[in-house]
Structure 1
Amino acid sequence: MRFLVKRLASAVSLLFGATLIVFLLLSPAFDDIAFNVLGENATPAQAAELNAELGLDQPLIVQYLHWLVGALTGDLGDSLFSTESVAAALSVRMPVTVALVILVTVLSGVLGFAIGIAAAVKRGWLDRALQFIATLGDALPAFIIALFLVTLLAIQLGILPATGYTAFADDPGAWARSITMPVIALTVVAVAGIAQQVRSSMIATLRQDYVRTLRSRGLSERRVVLGHVLRNASTTGLTSLAVQVVGILGGAVVIEQIFALPGLGSLAVQASGRADIQVVLGTVTAYVVIVVIVNLLVDLAVAWLNPKVRLS
């Protein structure tokens, strides 16, 4: 229980710290908000009036605390260029990005662990193939893979739609077809790195003395690997998976643009293009929340697998 409380407190502190840093990084753009909304022909008096109306004439820390209080109550403000609230915009876009991230994370974790374990145990050509794939995965960004998939599966073969998105509630089959290529593009990039970390950790663990002792007692290789070695080596793989989630979120921004997915990434690009600071701040906050939650879940999983972590 103490470990859980400490991790929750750390997650909350990280969330507050990250939002403060984001707010401070965006603060230089606050001076241009009035002219972005009113147009370049606006007078200084008109700009000052709008700044006072938006609370931008107050000290920066006061602005942040005002925003933070609203965020804690679910009020992230309104878009500067429409009547839509930021919370409403995020509620529509968030499910698309969250579904994409969950699918890619699960697939990357399952495939990464499976390939890494096989490469560590079998070695030989499979291990060499993993090294090649890992290098290729690091060299090829997700958008290159996405463009290749569009050319092959959508244009040449015509088995999947090139762009567009269908909600799961409207048509599960169409939803699966619309999200397949984005998931593949992001998974290919993430799985190689995870597999490489799992392989290295498994090889190091297989060389431990206790593994030789378990084998000498007559335990089957399957039981030794899956029952003991994997439990000790999986913490490195899970940590790598948590790191990959950040990359998945970053890649999703570009992937959503390529496949015209109405997610947080496309919303962030649109808001940045027109300097809609409130929407940008809300979108970045949503990303931070996702990362904090994923890292918290990984910490709990690592603590469950390794009791020493709970005592540290």
Structure 2
Amino acid sequence: MSFAPFANSVLKPRTQPENSLRLPTSYSFVASAMSYISADSPKMGEAEHYNALVQETSKAVAQFNQVTRNISQKMTLFGTPQDSRANHQQLTELTDRGNKLVAKINRRLQELDKGAKAAGGRARRTQVAKLSTDYKNQLKSFEETCQKLLAAERAAVSNLRQSSLSFRSDDDQKPAGFDGYNEDQIYAQANVTSYNEDDLVRREEDILKINQQLHEVNAAYQEVDGLVQDQGEIVVDIEENTNAAQENTQGALHNVREADRKRGLCKCSKTKLICIGIFALVVIAALIAILTAVK
């Protein structure tokens, strides 16, 4: 029995129609990615770009707030068994992330400020002013948290130095040789001293880095504070102009009503005069008729 027909039917490759279009496997990912357009896309209109910029800035401010909360939470581990190198490494990463968010949000707010001024809309200016004020408060909280972190790191460095000195003092007081020590104690003391020295160097580097970031954050705070003040003055000017316009409108409306009232009085006076004149003519005509009849 031959299996050739069966083998041919199984092994024969399937052919696609000539008109069929074979799409790459990454097409669905590209198509889904095209559905999102960032605020920097030139395909956006002015209004769409502005709205996307507002959303991105609001999201960045929320992330900035979360970074500050995470730093505060990890600082509570200081002085506990969970106060590990990993915890301090995460703190360093969080401060770096916060610093990057500060630079990003500042750029976005400057762009939003220009967009609000160019559009000349009161709603946009008020929106930017509120967003700037919220960010300013978050920036102040981040700065205060970093200052607490800096103080805690400095205190830890001081404690590490005292600890390292105490170990060395104990070594100096011991006689030469290894009398009074077993092997485990020797290795334990060596490891602790090495760890303290390494930790001391790392914490001092963190202090310098955090201090530099604080200078940058303070500069960003001053910049945002100036922006908030400018936005506040603009909003006040808008409110004053709006109030003045309302007063002018009310005054103009009062003048129009007063003019209409006077115009109505004039029309009424003219009608009365005509009626009085006609009545006088009728009376005179009646008198003339009576006098003529008497004669």
Normalised TM-score (structure 2)? 0.24
The structure that has the greater radius of gyration is 2
Normalised TM-score (structure 1)? 0.23
